[in-house]
Copies of this chain bind each other. A is one copy, B any other.
């Protein structure tokens, strides 16, 4: 039975563990290809150019925008993020199922271009729990935390436009559910 390559798009509010989940999902035996995004935000410790992101200058990013080189792009927390078109179309042509990790607006935009893409939303177990996680990450900055929480609440309002919602109550539970979704979608007709 031949089948078309699938595009899985994962979004999550800040602090919901999206990066960890995606890494674990890619490490599994599902054979998913990761489409690396381009960003102007600074590289964090442990991140590698070309693996985690393509780190570019603002000018470099804008050149891609002008070239119409992005499937979608957005500005979050002052930094630009974009999905290079070529990456995605090349991988799909090869018949590879792709994992894309993008924000809610980007996800909805890609769904418009690829109506068969599968949108997965990662939700925190509760706002209270998420607050705790954000505090850990931005230890002292109360203003930053409240700004992020506001954005998170806006992002959560997108969940109904997603095909799936996985609550990240524990990394292993959530990864296991994400794997189930990928396998189930591969059994899906049409």
**C-alpha spacing A1/B166, complex, angstroms:** 11
1/0 per residue, CB under 8 A from B, across A167-190: the answer is 100000000010111011101111
**C-alpha spacing A1/B162, complex, angstroms:** 15
Q: Which residues on the B side are within 8 Å of A190 (C-beta)? A: 160
Give chain B nearest CB distance to A165 CB in angstroms.
6
Contact B189–A166 (Cβ < 8 Å): no
**C-alpha spacing A167/B183, complex, angstroms:** 13
Count of interface residues, chain A, beta-carbon cutoff 8 Å: 22
Partner of A189, one of B164, B179, B180, B189: B164
Q: Tell me if A159 is interfacial: C-beta within 8 Å of chain B.
A: yes
Q: Tell me if A47 is interfacial: C-beta within 8 Å of chain B.
A: no
Contact B181–A163 (Cβ < 8 Å): no
Contact A189–B165 (Cβ < 8 Å): yes
Question: Nearest 7 CB-CB pairs, A to B?
Answer: A184-B184, A180-B180, A180-B183, A181-B184, A164-B187, A180-B184, A166-B187
A177-B184, A180-B181, A184-B185 are known; give 18 further A-B pairs, CB within 8 A.
A1-B167, A120-B187, A121-B189, A160-B189, A160-B190, A162-B189, A163-B188, A163-B189, A164-B187, A164-B188, A164-B189, A166-B187, A177-B187, A180-B183, A180-B184, A180-B187, A181-B183, A181-B187
